[in-house]
Amino acid sequence: MINVLIVEDEPTAAQALALYVKRVPGFAVAGHVRTGADALRRAATGGIDLVLLDIYLPDMSGLEVLRRLRAAGRTVDVIATTRARDLSVVQAAVSFGVTQYLVKPFTSGAVRQKLDRYSAYRATVTGAELPVAQDEIDSLFGALRESVETSGLPKGVTRESLQAVIATLRRALEEDATGPHPADDEAIGGRSAIEVARILGMSRVTTRRYLEYLVDAGLAQRQARYGGGAGRPELEYRWLPDPHHHRPPDLR
């Protein structure tokens, strides 16, 4: 049994994580704490195999928790669970030994996929004998690596097209924020499926599938656009910036 410590200060996210972890065979929730200090104390008692660690905690950053864990010689495995998408934060997390990165808002399927991969990694480590050959090392790292086919994207959604749609929404947000103030009934950065499709040269149906996926993932917002004449209002989509984007990690 793999014992998991959940470090999460948001009650809803913590409850969801606990529920999702319990659904995966071979995993058990060993505890839940809300602060970095409590996480360090609980890890010191032992009996923890894996930590699901939020990067932004009330008392210190998850990166600081990681730094202190490693400084104390604790090699417990860690999966970061956070809204942070800054490349610098991701790089710092990897440098401190994060095995995987789970971006909020997460689904049960996404959590299960990460845990299944971690379980495969653990099985490989447990069964390995030293010294190991190159192909065995490659297999060990491959157990944690995601391919495009198994990246959790729904059928009909490719990573390349998704990145193009995201870039279009982000660019719209930046252009509207720095340009003339839009009309009162328009959201800054709002673009319809037709507008995005025209920019990318995609069909409206395909574009809407990607936009709805981003809405379901909590990365974009959908709202009605009025003022276009008679008939039903047109739907427009707006990229939601990371609320923690400008919050620097605490590395003291």
With a cut of 80, say whether residue 46 has pLDDT above it. Answer: yes
With a cut of 60, say whether residue 229 has pLDDT above it. Answer: no
Least confident of 13-22, 36-45, 96-105, 214-223: 96-105
185 DSSP 8-state letter: T
Backbone CA torsion sign across 76, 84, 19, 31: positive
Ordered alpha helix ranges (H), the chain: 11-23, 36-44, 62-71, 87-95, 108-127, 134-142, 159-178, 193-200, 204-216
Phi, psi of 208 (to 5 degrees): -65, -35
> Domain ranges in the chain?
2-149, 159-239
At 191, which helix (H) or strand (E)? Answer: strand 191-192
With a cut of 60, say whether residue 166 has pLDDT above it. Answer: yes
On the question of a common fold for 2-149 and 159-239, the answer reads no
With a cut of 70, say whether residue 130 has pLDDT above it. Answer: no
At residue 137 the predicted structure's pLDDT band, cuts being 50, 70 and 90, is: very low
At residue 94 the predicted structure's pLDDT band, cuts being 50, 70 and 90, is: confident
With a cut of 80, say whether residue 159 has pLDDT above it. Answer: no
Q: With contact defined as beta carbons under 8 Å apart, do 47 and 207 qualify?
A: no
Higher pLDDT: 152 or 117? It is 117
Burial class (CB in 10 A: 0-12, 13-18, 19+), 51: buried
Q: Quick one: average pLDDT of 130-150?
A: 47
Higher pLDDT: 33 or 25? It is 33
**pTM of the shown model:** 0.55
Q: Quick one: tokens of 66?
A: 């990681």
Q: Which CATH class is domain 2-149?
A: alpha beta
159-239: CATH number? 1.10.10.10
The DSSP line for 15-46 is: HHHHHHHHHSTTEEEEEEESSHHHHHHHHHT-
pLDDT of residue 249: 38
pLDDT of residue 247: 39
Cα 72 to Cα 237: distance, rounded to the nearest angstrom: 47
Q: With contact defined as beta carbons under 8 Å apart, do 78 and 50 qualify?
A: yes
In the numeric block, the tokens 């060990």 are attached to 140
What confidence tens digit (pLDDT) does each residue in 57-67 have?
999 999 999 99
In the numeric block, the tokens 């490349």 are attached to 87
Cα 123 to Cα 135: distance, rounded to the nearest angstrom: 16
